[in-house]
Amino acid sequence: MERKNILSTPIVDAINKYIEENNIPFSMPGHKAGKGFFYTDDGKKLFSNIINGDITEVEGLDNLHKPEGIIKESQELLCKLYGGAKAYYLVNGSTSGILAMIFSTFNEGDKIIVERNCHRSIFNAIILRKLVPIYLKSEIDERFNIPICINEDYILDVINENKDVKGIILTYPNYYGICQNISKIILKAKENNMKVLVDSAHGAHFGFCDSLPQNAVELGADIVVMSAHKTLPSFTQTSFLVANKNIDIENLEFYISAFMTTSPSYMFLCSMDYARNFMELYGKKEFEKCTKLARKYRKIINELSYIHVITPEDLKEKNLGIYIDESRYVINVKKQYSAPLLLKYLKKNNIQCEMCDGINIVLILSPFNNEMDFSKLYEVLKDCPIHEFEIENSLNINDIIEQKIPQSKLLPFEAQKIKDIEIVSVDNCINRVCAENITPYPPGIPILIKGELIDEHALSLIKYYLKSNISILGVDNLKIKVFTKM
Ligand SMILES: Cc1ncc(COP(=O)(O)O)c(C=O)c1O
């Protein structure tokens, strides 16, 4: 084959262009375009050596898969920082930590309790480990259309009714920074010999000051996975896993190692070492400063009539014992305006947000966002020509229908194996078995999981979201994939 010598680096070109835009980062990673590394002289040196430090295990350095020297020492310091019995650095994100904690805790065929509103890595682990899930439905806040918690009495009932369950997987906090007090659930699960695993991907900064929620390790979870890269000054892909006592460490370490590359970059390890030390020395002071600044600007932004940044007081009104991470903004856009268009406008004005669910825009704030960043955010929001973003077909919040968990016809791992699939119209899918997860955004919780029966309730939800112009993953051109012989 003739090879032409044409320069073509689409990824490099796009990243260079993005860097030149000089956006204000209100998104991951937590180091905010490197600013987090300028806090100490060591950090500055690390920053200037990024490429040279991109080595893996060489003579004289330590082995992440069998740490005996510097990695062991640093991981011990990590453990001291969060508490718990043993702590680990992960270079393949919380995704690898979630797989490792689930594989090490459960065996094939085990029954587990898990939130329906969980990350895809948990759904994938359920398939790969051939688990039998009992899903917990979330309460949805009808004002903002976001999942806020799992009703505590309901979880306790599910635990009481399923004593053969081996463990429970919780998410703390969710993508919106909303948490519920999980200590009672942990206690109840433990009374019933159930292990408690917590996906705290968005909570690595928790517990460092009074204005932030408590850390899940402190609350007594058995294993906690936290993405260092989401909220701390650490590189993308870096995460921590902390195991409390009564965990089979040898077994856990086998799976951590199995789900991780054998060539970890020392730059990842250095950035985790740096982030850990930063939190140890400055976490309290800096996150207090960050939440104080966040509160000040939240108050000013909330004087604008077309948006509302969710406050802890909004959630207190519900009396459900839930709270919000105040180092995060969830900007709820009033229903006559388009949030995706507002997001576009913010990006055009160099404000980089974390995500938009169609109604709310989420921003991840950090100690490395200074007052100028907040002030620019406010100015851009204030000058927004919001009337240009008016929409007609908005979600009718009063129509929100209660979430119900449909009947499972196939376990997730069984459904994954079946290839006989046909595509049917939404109008003809009743009583068929769904061959793809059906998830509306927002709120991002699956209405149906592959292998579940499409009943009247699920269908009415699908139609409701379609009518409201909410995009639904798994529904294409009003058509759904179902299993042929079922
Ligand atoms: C709730 C939750 N859990 C787990 C993950 C996976 O984390 P990572 O990107 O570090 O693999 C994410 C990623 O966004 C997440 O939002």
Tens digits of per-residue pLDDT, 169-187? 999 999 999 999 899 999 9
Do residues 98 and 119 touch, judged by C-beta distance below 8 A?
yes
Average confidence (pLDDT) over 33-42:
93
**Nearest atom, ligand 1, residue 97 CA:** 11
**Nearest atom, ligand 1, residue 171 CA:** 1
Do residues 462 and 438 touch, judged by C-beta distance below 8 A?
yes
Residue located nearest, by CA, to atom 16 of ligand 1: 175
Do residues 150 and 115 touch, judged by C-beta distance below 8 A?
yes
Q: Count other C-beta atoms under 10 Å from residue 367's C-beta.
A: 26
**Which pairs with CB-CB distance under 8 Å and at least 24 residues apart come from 43-51?**
43/233, 43/274, 43/278, 46/270, 46/271, 46/274, 50/267
The 3-state secondary structure of the chain, one letter per residue: CCCCCCCCCHHHHHHHHHHHHCCEECCCCCCCCCHHHHCCHHHHHHHHCCCCCCCCCCCCCCCCCCCCCHHHHHHHHHHHHHCCCEEEEECCHHHHHHHHHHHHHCCCCCEEEEECCCCHHHHHHHHHCCCEEEEECCEEECCCCEEEECCHHHHHHHHHHCCCCCEEEEECCCCCCEEECCHHHHHHHHHCCCEEEEECCCCCCCCCCCCCCCCCCCCCCCEEEEEHHHHCCCCCCCEEEEECCCCCHHHHHHHHHHCCCCCCCHHHHHHHHHHHHHHHHHHHHHHHHHHHHHHHHHHHHCCCCCEEECCHHHHHCCCCCEEECCCEEEEEECCCECHHHHHHHHHHCCEECCEECCCEEEEECCCCCCHHHHHHHHHHHHCCCHHHHECCCCCCHHHCCCCCCCCECCCHHHHHHCCCEEEEEHHHCCCCEECCCEEEECCCCCCECCCEECCHHHHHHHHHHHHCCCEEECCECCEEEEECCC
With cut-offs at 50, 70 and 90, classify the pLDDT of residue 319: confident
CA of 122 to the centre of ligand 1 (A): 10
> Over the range 74-95, which residues count as b (16 or more CB within 10 Å of their CB) and which as e?
bbeebbebbebebbbbbbbbbb
Do residues 315 and 323 touch, judged by C-beta distance below 8 A?
yes
Q: Which residue has the tokens 């640093």?
A: 74
Average confidence (pLDDT) over 422-427:
96
CA of 158 to the centre of ligand 1 (A): 26
**Nearest atom, ligand 1, residue 118 CA:** 1
Stretch among 280-289, 322-331, 391-400, 441-450 having the lowest mean pLDDT: 391-400
CA of 40 to the centre of ligand 1 (A): 28
Residue located nearest, by CA, to atom 9 of ligand 1: 93
Residue from 96, 102, 121 whose mutation best tests the ligand 1 pocket (most atoms within 8 A of CB): 121
Residue 136 has a pLDDT of 95
CA of 31 to the centre of ligand 1 (A): 17
Of residues 254, 255, 225, 257, the one with CA closest to residue 241: 225
**Nearest atom, ligand 1, residue 92 CA:** 11
Residue from 94, 98, 122 whose mutation best tests the ligand 1 pocket (most atoms within 8 A of CB): 94
Tens digits of per-residue pLDDT, 55-70? 998 888 999 999 999 9
Average confidence (pLDDT) over 243-272:
96
**Nearest atom, ligand 1, residue 98 CA:** 4
Residue from 126, 227, 441 whose mutation best tests the ligand 1 pocket (most atoms within 8 A of CB): 227
Distance CA 87, CA 396 (A): 46
CA of 118 to the centre of ligand 1 (A): 10
Distance CA 301, CA 51 (A): 40
CA of 314 to the centre of ligand 1 (A): 26
Tens digits of per-residue pLDDT, 369-413? 999 999 999 999 999 999 999 987 655 544 555 678 999 999 999
Do residues 366 and 327 touch, judged by C-beta distance below 8 A?
yes
Identify residue 265 by its one-letter amino acid code: S
What are the pocket residues of ligand 1 if the criterion is a CB atom closer than 6 Å to any ligand atom?
93-95, 119, 121, 171, 175, 199, 201-202, 227, 239
CA of 379 to the centre of ligand 1 (A): 31
Stretch among 5-9, 158-162, 251-255 having the lowest mean pLDDT: 5-9
Tens digits of per-residue pLDDT, 328-379? 999 999 989 999 999 999 999 999 999 998 889 999 999 999 999 999 999 9
Residue located nearest, by CA, to atom 7 of ligand 1: 94
For the cut 70, the answer to whether the pLDDT of residue 4 exceeds it is no
Q: Quick one: tokens of 243?
A: 């195991």
For the cut 60, the answer to whether the pLDDT of residue 311 exceeds it is yes
CA of 119 to the centre of ligand 1 (A): 7
Residue from 114, 118, 202 whose mutation best tests the ligand 1 pocket (most atoms within 8 A of CB): 202
CA of 332 to the centre of ligand 1 (A): 22
> Over the range 127-149, which residues count as b (16 or more CB within 10 Å of their CB) and which as e?
bebbbbbbbbbbbbbeebbbbbb
Tens digits of per-residue pLDDT, 106-132? 999 999 999 998 999 999 999 999 999
CA of 142 to the centre of ligand 1 (A): 25
CA of 401 to the centre of ligand 1 (A): 28
CA of 254 to the centre of ligand 1 (A): 22
Helix 339-348 × helix 371-382 angle, to 10°: 120
**Nearest atom, ligand 1, residue 230 CA:** 10
Q: How much is the pTM?
A: 0.94
